[in-house]
């Protein structure tokens, strides 16, 4: 999945002359934490976060200073520059790695000439995770433990194909020992009994769900 598929395009921006006061109002009004600072032609020059503003604020223990004076300063005085950015055609997983490694909350998305196209926040990445796991679509979940050798996913997928069941998502992750892997499927059916018993018949361990405790065949 590409960044441009997950990013927000209606970005709230400011220019470098905008006052800190106005920036605070925008953050509160739109319930956001980051505002890109742009030139008139949308070239990205910096970013202001709620944290930058907090750092600029006088301490509540310094009551008698001219507290509010700083609010009239331009945002260019506190903005961070240069900015960590992503490209619309980056993979979302690459962007997630930058967010994680740099410990930041959002990435402005810019084209090759630094023109702002959108913004990708932690929330957007989390929403993408929900989509990738298929947790938002009606489905049943099946977990299968398979040996850590090639062809296992195909074997299970074949069973699903034979039952004409659509797969919403597949996750593959290692178990604690490296001998096995866990395959997690979300499948679009309310009745996974046949599939589970087929998988078991092929010698795989279905870690959950358990088959019902009885069946009509007993």
Residue 144 forms beta bridges with which residues? Answer: 183, 206
Tokens of 170: 């597949």
Q: What secondary structure letter does DSSP report for 51?
A: H
CB of 141 to other proteins, least distance (A): 5
Q: Which stretch binds other proteins (CB under 8 A): 30-38, 92-100, 106-114, 129-137?
A: 129-137
Distance of CA 189 to the CA centre of its chain: 27
CB of 130 to other proteins, least distance (A): 11
Residue 164 interacts with other proteins (CB under 8 A)? Answer: yes
Between residue 3 and residue 42, which ones bind other proteins under the rule CB under 8 A? none
Q: Which is nearer to other proteins, 21 or 169 (CB)?
A: 169
Residue 212 interacts with other proteins (CB under 8 A)? Answer: yes
Ramachandran class of 38: left when φ > 0, alpha when ψ lies in -120 to 50, beta otherwise: beta
Q: Which is nearer to other proteins, 72 or 137 (CB)?
A: 137
Rounded Cα distance between 31 and 135, Å, is 26
CB of 179 to other proteins, least distance (A): 24
Q: Which is nearer to other proteins, 24 or 145 (CB)?
A: 145
Rounded Cα distance between 159 and 96, Å, is 34
Tokens of 140: 């049943």
CB of 182 to other proteins, least distance (A): 13
Which one, of 115, 127, 92, 147, lies nearest residue 13 by Cα?
115
Name the site residues for other proteins (rule: CB under 8 A).
Answer: 135-143, 163-166, 186, 188-193, 208-210, 212-216
């Amino acid at each position: 999945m590409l960044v441009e598929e997950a990013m927000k395009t209606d970005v709230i921006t400011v220019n470098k002359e905008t006052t800190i006061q106005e920036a605070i109002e925008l953050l509160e009004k739109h319930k956001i934490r980051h505002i890109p600072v742009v030139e008139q032609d949308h070239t990205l020059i910096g970013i202001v976060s709620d944290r930058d503003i907090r750092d600029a604020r006088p301490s509540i223990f310094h009551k008698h200073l001219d507290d509010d004076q700083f609010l009239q300063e331009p945002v260019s005085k506190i903005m961070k520059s240069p900015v960590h950015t992503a490209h619309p055609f980056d993979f979302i997983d690459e962007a997630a790695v930058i967010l994680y490694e740099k410990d930041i909350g959002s990435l402005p998305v810019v084209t090759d000439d630094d023109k702002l196209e959108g913004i990708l926040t932690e929330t957007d990445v989390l929403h993408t995770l929900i989509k990738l796991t298929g947790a938002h679509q009606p489905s049943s979940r099946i977990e299968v433990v398979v040996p850590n050798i090639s062809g296992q996913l195909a074997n299970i997928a074949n069973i699903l194909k034979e039952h004409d069941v659509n797969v919403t998502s597949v996750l593959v992750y290692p178990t604690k020992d490296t001998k096995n892997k866990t395959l997690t499927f979300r499948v679009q059916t309310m009745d996974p009994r046949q599939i589970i018993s087929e998988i078991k018949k092929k010698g795989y361990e279905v870690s959950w769900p358990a088959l019902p405790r009885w069946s009509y065949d007993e």
